[in-house]
Amino acid sequence: MSADATSPSAPIRAQVLADVPPVPGAPKPDPILVADNVTRRFGGLTAVDVEHVEVQRGVITALIGPNGAGKTTFFNVLTGFDQADTGSWTFEGASVAGKPSYKVAQAGMVRTFQLTKALSRLRVLENMRLGATGQRGESVWRALLPFLWRDQEESITERAEQLLSRFKLDHMRDEFAGALSGGQRKLLEMARALMSEPTMVMLDEPMAGVNPALTQSLLGHVKDLRAEGMTVLFVEHDMDMVHDISDWVIVMAQGKIVAEGPPEAVMANPDVIDAYLGAHHDAPVTEAEEQQQLAEIESDIEAELSAPDESPATEPSTGGSS
Amino acid sequence: MVNGVVPRLARGMALLLASVVMALLAAGALGPTAAASGQEESVRGRLEERTADDERHPVAGVRVFVEGQGFVEETQTDENGDWLIPVPQPGSYTVTLDEATLPDDVVLRDPDDNPWSGDVRSGRSQIVRFNLGEGLTRETSTINRVIERTAVGIRFGLLLALAAVGLSLIFGTMGLTNFAHAEQVAIGGLVGYTFAATMGIPLLLAAVLTLLAGCIVGWTQDAGLWKPLRRRGTGIIPMMIITIGLSLFARSVLQAIYGSSPRAFPHRSDVVALGPTRLTVNDYISMAVALVLLVAVAYVLLRTRWGKATRAVSDNPALAAASGINVDMVIRGVWTAGAGLAALGGMLLGLSQQVSAQMGINMLLLMFAAVVLGGLGTAFGAMAGALIVGIFIEVSTIVIPTEIKNVGALAILIVILLLRPQGILGRRERVG
Amino acid sequence: MDWNLLVANAFHAALGLNAIAYAIAAIGLNVHFGYTGLLNFGQAGFLAVGAYGTAISIVHFNVPYLVGALIGVAVAVLLALLLGIPTLRLRADYLAVATIAAAEIVRLVIGSTVYARWTGGSSGFSGAFARTFYNWNPLPAGTYSLGPVRLTADRAWFMLIGWSLVIIIALLVWLLVRSPWGRVLKGIREDEDAVRSLGKNVFARKMQALIIGGVIGAVAGIALVTGEQSVNPQTFNTQLTFFFWTLLLLGGVARVIGPVLGAVLLWLVFSVTETVLRSGASAGWVPDTLVSESQIGLVRVALVGLGLMLLMIFRPQGILGDRRELAFNVR
Ligand SMILES: Nc1ncnc2c1ncn2[C@@H]1O[C@H](COP(=O)(O)OP(=O)(O)O)[C@@H](O)[C@H]1O
Ligand SMILES: [Mg+2]
């Protein structure tokens, strides 16, 4: 049940981007998100250094790049989970730079996390209900008077149940979220994000660690979002998947946007192939590599000790890098 | 849950508790009989300075001697100005206040008060009062006061650093806020007292033995409790609560053994009048020992393989483990060394103040302040933080009453959390 | 052994002033830790400001009893704001250190001679400042007995009101935590970022929880003042906070009844050990030195310490908790 088949507007959307030149920072006809000069440094390392980027409304945009390219950090910065060193960005024409993360979410830009944050000690249905915005019972005074929020709670529950059955989680509704499989948690996290009725969803590696049987349905759900008029920006490694569902692809490497364009064009781009092959490093294989990594850690420590970071220590673990 | 973990853990706990209790009982047996009977005679008092506007400020660190019935003993007033000396039997005694150890601007109101002579009746604790007031002429200039307090602050700061390094290292490597670290300091003070005062072992040797005893306590703790808990995947918060339980338990055992009244080391040494400062020879030796050990810790962390591994674990335990570092060994080492240093710190602090089961908990928050100020988990930060806290506390007594000097330090702690939570030398938390 | 004495002591311990105050204080702590995941190690500080705020305003400013109590509560709100603003944006363990430091500051300040004119310094002060409360007592004066248990009218009145208060507070908390508001708290307890990403103002909710739990703590302090008719800074030491933690973990975290059950059980255990030790001493099989006033205190602290460790290791969900909900692996 692919969304493309049912949605008449899909080809039109693809066309909308047909005239956009495939160069980094290309202007889009109807951008929902525009970012300028966004940088984020960790000590000596510049994790994000984006000059200009626009995300088209109502299409699926993929953000790809090798591990450590800065995709998660870029997500964190845009959504207020991390502070940028410089830069400005607007969402639906209004600046959200420097806004706290909950305000960004309230503005309609809702994200998921690379390391799934299903609230495993809440039941599945409670997870879903939590996602709904504008709940009257979330005010501490009204919370004491159930008759003020019970009706709303019922409609929220109804919506939650619809979403759960769409994501095939309805049989788990009364389980603790911790009892779900990894893939189911990803589904739950996505469904929960949808409870807040966002205009744009940002998915950080939604397919990572999901078993292949579930990926197809996840893909279907992402396409459904587009069919419903939502904008999707997602991070993914699997080229086939990116190829399959995205209308536009943005490539990051070493913090910079190195290429942009429709999937076919990007994948043929030699810069992209370079970026992937050039910067890939994996878990250590040989003892020599292990020593090398240890030495790197040590020099990192030294560097960081001599150049303490300036920004305040807020909560750890926003998203997480791979 | 992994099979067999619970029995192993239970065995570990039993081993740990048994050895702690044994060690403490052994120390207690060697130690002076606990003052638990409540039937002992003693002399006591509270030394307070009464200012012109009738405020009372306790005067700490003043020597008081008691003589009589062939018995001689001395003590120092604690931070509340309280002092207490148990005497062996009823009878007449003479109590002398060492006026040289009074702060410069504090004098006896009535010189006839000193010395005091009188009877101590059977089963009674005789109160001896020395009335103190402000000197008529405040000769010491503020700058001299500052220098004098700074010297005291440096001494306290160095010893605090010694005590707090372990707290910081354990936080760094395990992420654990160890409330029971306080008792490691108290154990050091009490065991050191047993060695040096009760058994009469020379001070330096006693210090070495105290360091070793502390190391053993730390090693046993990790082997018997923390490692099994890590194995079991116990979360950090439960572990933190366990350290609280351990702290309460160990403290009450210590107090049951040593009694609740503070004890002072009998070791006296000359005052070295260096400019306006009035530190004693023992103070200088303590400071030198602390300095040497702190430099040694720094050297180990920076230059040796084990030290580098420790820093790698602090930086990122998962990555460190993946790169072949034996994280358990590192943590074991940190517990052993940290507890040893804390114990020695406790003994050295006891030399200049007093020792009691409560001494650790009384300064735990100052250790936290030092560690947070320097940046949680960075050993160098803890050292710098401790020095700053020490000097700050002492210098602040020029303007605020000695009695609430710690309040200033704790307030600073909260302000730092507000302004620069990663501390002076700390780094921002790594994401992911 | 004197069984009547055992029963009477157990009754007074398990249902008396201390159990009431501890239950209330731990309900507040449950709002902090159980439902929101806030590591408050300074609950004693909230009790202290509640108690002293009330006592001082009644004794020195002659305000009516209930106004005094309101002032105590207001000071607790202030303390919560003072504590929360700097620390609630930070990691959980920073709050732990800040709260314990703040509680110590409170204790040191109220116990110092500097403010002794108001606080009575290290020995505190006493007075008939809850006289109004006992004047409201509708029970006829005299002694009531219930089997081996004897109660004065004032004691009975205090227990009646005290337990009603416990029930009301527990009910309010129950209403709160099963509302959408409580759901946000439980989300925060597990992962603030997830809750933030759903557009919830986490800081504001945490602050509300801190204030509510703190105010409940202050009410416990007011109960202590009312029952004891005296205040003493030593009551509010760090150990007191850890007693609350122990009984909360014993009864069951994140259960409305958990802290109430915990308080009753804790005092039952205290009372039974004490009675057994004392009768053992008079029968000669327990050394006398173990039952002096200070030693009984020590035995209590040792029990609490050991209990806290064993609970956390072997049964972190306590008696009523749900292990799945409480695998509190807060980072
Ligand atoms: N909090 C942090 N402190 C230091 N370095 C960080 C932090 N977060 C991310 N990094 C570094 O920034 C770079 C980009 O990371 P990330 O955004 O997670 O990459 P990606 O998501 O593209 O794989 C990596 O080198 C990572 O190690
Ligand atoms: Mg990533």
Q: Which of C129, A206, C101 is nearest to B367 (CA)?
A: C101
Residue in the structure block whose two tokens are 């048994």: B18
Does residue A5 register a pLDDT over 80?
no
Banded model confidence at residue A241, pLDDT cuts 50, 70, 90: confident
Ligand (nearest to CA of A63)? 1
d(CA A222, CA A210): 14
The pairing of beta strand B116-120 with beta strand B91-97: antiparallel
pLDDT, averaged across chain A: 83
d(CA C75, CA C104): 16
Top mean pLDDT of A118-127, A208-217, A272-281, A298-307 is at A118-127
The mean per-residue pLDDT over the stretch C111-122 comes to 85
pLDDT, averaged across chain B: 81
pLDDT in tens, A128-176: 999 999 999 999 999 999 999 999 999 999 999 999 999 889 999 999 9
Query: Residue B384 forms beta bridges with which residues?
Result: none
Please, are residues B312 and B322 in contact by the beta-carbon 8 Å criterion? Answer: no
Q: Which of A41-55, A165-179, B276-290, B371-385 has the lowest mean pLDDT?
A: B371-385
What are the structure tokens assigned to C299, written together? 């035995």
CB B431 near ligand 1, within 6 Å: yes
pLDDT > 70 fraction of chain A, expressed in percent and rounded: 81
How many angstroms separate the most distant Cα atoms in chain C? Answer: 67
> How high is the pLDDT of residue B397?
85
Does residue B334 register a pLDDT over 90?
yes
pLDDT in tens, A269-322: 887 877 776 544 444 445 555 566 566 666 665 555 554 443 333 333 333 333
Which residue has a Cα nearest atom 21 of ligand 1?
A72
Q: Where in chain A is the domain with CATH 3.40.50.300?
A: 10-118+194-268
pLDDT in tens, B24-76: 545 444 444 333 334 467 888 888 776 655 556 778 888 888 887 777 788 88
The number of beta carbons lying within 10 Å of the beta carbon of residue A318 is: 27
CA-based nearest distance C84→chain A, Å: 14
> How high is the pLDDT of residue B99?
78
- With CB atoms and an 8 Å threshold, state whether B431 touches A298: no
Question: Could you give phi then psi for residue B118, rounded to 5 degrees?
Answer: 175, -175
The mean per-residue pLDDT over the stretch C257-266 comes to 95
CB A255 near ligand 1, within 6 Å: no
CB A65 near ligand 1, within 6 Å: yes
Q: Which of B333-342, C39-48, C146-155 has the lowest mean pLDDT?
A: C146-155
d(CA B232, CA B5): 7
CB A72 near ligand 1, within 6 Å: yes
Cis peptide bond prior to B115, omega within 30° of 0: yes
Q: What is the DSSP string of B333-375?
A: HHHHHHHHHHHHHHHHHHHHS-B-TTHHHHHHHHHHHHHHHH-
Comparison of pLDDT for A290 and C330, the residue scoring more: A290
Sign of CA dihedral C295, C23, C28, C90: positive
CATH no., domain A10-118+194-268: 3.40.50.300
Does residue B135 register a pLDDT over 50?
no
Top mean pLDDT of B135-149, C24-38, C129-143 is at C24-38
> How high is the pLDDT of residue B12?
62
Banded model confidence at residue B432, pLDDT cuts 50, 70, 90: very low
Q: What is the DSSP string of C294-311?
A: HHHHHHHHHHHHHHHHHH
CA-based nearest distance B103→chain C, Å: 19
What global pTM score does this model have? 0.82
> How high is the pLDDT of residue A71?
93
Sign of CA dihedral C74, C76, C78, C84: negative
Does residue B389 register a pLDDT over 70?
yes
The pairing of beta strand B82-87 with beta strand A109-111: unpaired
The pairing of beta strand A86-91 with beta strand B41-46: unpaired
pLDDT > 90 fraction of chain C, expressed in percent and rounded: 59
d(CA C233, CA C112): 9
Please, are residues B268 and B52 in contact by the beta-carbon 8 Å criterion? Answer: no
- Ordered by where they begin, the domains of chain B are 42-133 (2.60.40.10), 142-419 (1.10.3470)
**Which A residues 169-208 touch C at CB under 8 Å?**
176, 178, 189, 192-193, 195-196
**Three-state secondary structure call for residue A56:** strand
Taking the CA atoms of residue C237, residue C241, residue C243 and residue C244 in that order, the dihedral angle to the nearest 10 degrees is 150
A42 C-alpha vs ligand 1 centroid, how far in Å? 8
The number of beta carbons lying within 10 Å of the beta carbon of residue B402 is: 21
- With CB atoms and an 8 Å threshold, state whether A300 touches B315: yes
d(CA B55, CA A250): 72
CA-based nearest distance A313→chain B, Å: 5
Buried b or exposed e, range B94-118, using 16+ CB within 10 angstroms: ebbbeeebbbeebbeeeeeebbbee
Does residue C23 register a pLDDT over 90?
yes
Comparison of pLDDT for C279 and A276, the residue scoring more: C279
Q: Which of B118, B127, B64, B128 is nearest to B91 (CA)?
A: B118
DSSP strands (E only) in C148-302: 149-152, 230-231
Does residue B292 register a pLDDT over 80?
yes
> How high is the pLDDT of residue B428?
53
CB A47 near ligand 1, within 6 Å: yes
Q: Which of B283, B285, B253, B241 is nearest to B186 (CA)?
A: B253
Buried b or exposed e, range A265-293, using 16+ CB within 10 angstroms: ebbebeebeebbeeeeeeebeeeeebeeb
What are the structure tokens assigned to A21, written together? 């030149």
> How high is the pLDDT of residue B55?
59
Helices (H) and strands (E) in chain C, counts: 15, 4
C191 contact residues in A (CB cutoff 8 A): 117, 119
pLDDT, averaged across chain C: 89
> ipTM of this predicted complex?
0.87
The mean per-residue pLDDT over the stretch A31-48 comes to 92
| Element (DSSP H or E) covering residue B87 | strand B82-87
The mean per-residue pLDDT over the stretch C312-330 comes to 74
The mean per-residue pLDDT over the stretch B142-157 comes to 90
> How high is the pLDDT of residue B158?
95
Q: Which of A29-43, B36-50, C176-190, C266-280 has the lowest mean pLDDT?
A: B36-50
A85 C-alpha vs ligand 1 centroid, how far in Å? 14
CB of B404 less than 8 A from some CB of C: yes
pLDDT in tens, B217-270: 999 999 999 999 999 888 888 898 899 999 999 999 999 888 878 888 888 788
